[in-house]
Amino acid sequence: MSVKSPGSVSRGVWLGAHIGISEGFDRAPVIGREIGCEAIQIFSKSPQMWKGVPIPVEAAERFRRAVVEQGLKATAVHHGYLLNLANPKDGPRKQSLLTLVDELQRAGLLGVNDLIIHPGAHLGSGVEPGIDLIAQGLNAALNEVPDGRVRILLENAAGQGTTIGSTFAELRSILDKVEQRARVGVTLDTCHLFAAGIDIRGPEAYGAMIDQLEADLGVAEVHAFHLNDAQGELGSHLDRHENIGQGSIGLEGFGPFVRDARWANVPGYLETPLDDRGYSRYEKDLRQLRSTLTPALRARPKARSPRRRSVRATMAK
């Protein structure tokens, strides 16, 4: 078995969340720290836009400074929803390439560690042709930004429709075709794993998942997680996130990620549902995740600035 026992005193993923930027880029790190995050993910623009308004250099500098001041361990930009590098039609695929280059440059300006993208959907052309197109798009984008320090991470899919990347093997096939190999990796979404038919509930299932991951993709390729419970059942292909412990995965499915020392330098970002109470549901989800640690490791990071009475979410997810 590849998994450590639940009683291990080790510590796994850095716990974080997706934070809105409506109050300004520099407020996102502060808000993240206030609610107990060790890492944050943001959108750099509306996820429904091909290209965003240019980020002022001063705003990017304030964001980078706030990340350092708040002591965050990792940061990421999540690409918008329009991107589809596997689109078999030339026009939309070229538009996707342009928006990927733009987003990669924006992420570089903000100084984040990673740019997380959905690989795409082949729309009927077939998985293998789709994989080839995704790799071609990644190669072209990386060549357009030759000195970039931001790593592109492919997010696993839930297996809905013609999406590519719901299996570790498909993700590996894409990575193997990328020329600048060190500049790409993978983000694993727990809801998507479960929806795609990969069980992670409890030590035995988690250990089997790790074995499959190592055999088909490689543990070293995973540089981030999205920690989301699932509304759908195992293998449902339903991409619907739920709050931690409230869905079909349940709290026991997250303990191994939080305790597994192999993820000690890997961020895990919440993308769970919010409501009109703002980030209070994130705070509860973070507490739930930390409850799976031994008492000595449960302490949340202290905020570096005074706590505001009310912070409202502006997430599009």
Q: Does 300 have pLDDT greater than 90?
A: no
DSSP secondary structure letters along 246-291: SSSS-GGGTHHHHH-GGGTT-EEEE----BTTBTHHHHHHHHHHHT
The predicted-structure confidence for 31-46, as pLDDT tens digits, reads as follows 999 999 999 999 999 9
Q: Does 185 have pLDDT greater than 50?
A: yes
| pLDDT for 276 | 83
Q: Does 83 have pLDDT greater than 70?
A: yes
Selection from 31, 152, 37, 146 nearest residue 85 by Cα: 152
Report residue 305's pLDDT band, with 50, 70 and 90 as the boundaries.
Answer: low
* Residue 121 located in a structural domain: yes
* Residue 245 located in a structural domain: yes
* Residue 4 located in a structural domain: no
- Higher-confidence residue of 211 and 52: namely 211
Check which CATH number belongs to the domain holding 81 and give it: 3.20.20.150
| Tokens coding 75 | 């940061």
Report residue 78's pLDDT band, with 50, 70 and 90 as the boundaries.
Answer: very high
Q: Does 252 have pLDDT greater than 70?
A: yes
The predicted-structure confidence for 126-147, as pLDDT tens digits, reads as follows 999 999 999 999 999 999 999 8
Report residue 299's pLDDT band, with 50, 70 and 90 as the boundaries.
Answer: confident
* Residue 76 located in a structural domain: yes
* Residue 189 located in a structural domain: yes
| pLDDT for 296 | 62
Report the interhelical angle of 90-110 vs 57-69 (nearest 10°): 60
Q: Average pLDDT of the chain? A: 92
The predicted-structure confidence for 98-129, as pLDDT tens digits, reads as follows 999 999 999 999 999 999 999 999 999 999 99
Q: Does 314 have pLDDT greater than 70?
A: no
Which are the contacts of 102, defined by CB distance < 8 A and separation ≥ 6?
A: 51, 52
Q: Does 9 have pLDDT greater than 70?
A: no
Give the residue numbers spanning the domain of 238.
14-297
| Predicted TM-score (pTM) of this structure | 0.92
3-class DSSP state for residue 11? coil
Number of domains in the chain: 1
Q: Does 14 have pLDDT greater than 80?
A: yes
Report residue 309's pLDDT band, with 50, 70 and 90 as the boundaries.
Answer: very low
Q: Range with the lowest mean pLDDT among 230-234, 236-240, 290-294, 301-305?
A: 301-305
* Residue 28 located in a structural domain: yes
Report the interhelical angle of 127-144 vs 90-110 (nearest 10°): 40
| Tokens coding 271 | 């993308």
* Residue 8 located in a structural domain: no
* Residue 302 located in a structural domain: no
Give the CA radius of gyration of the chain.
19
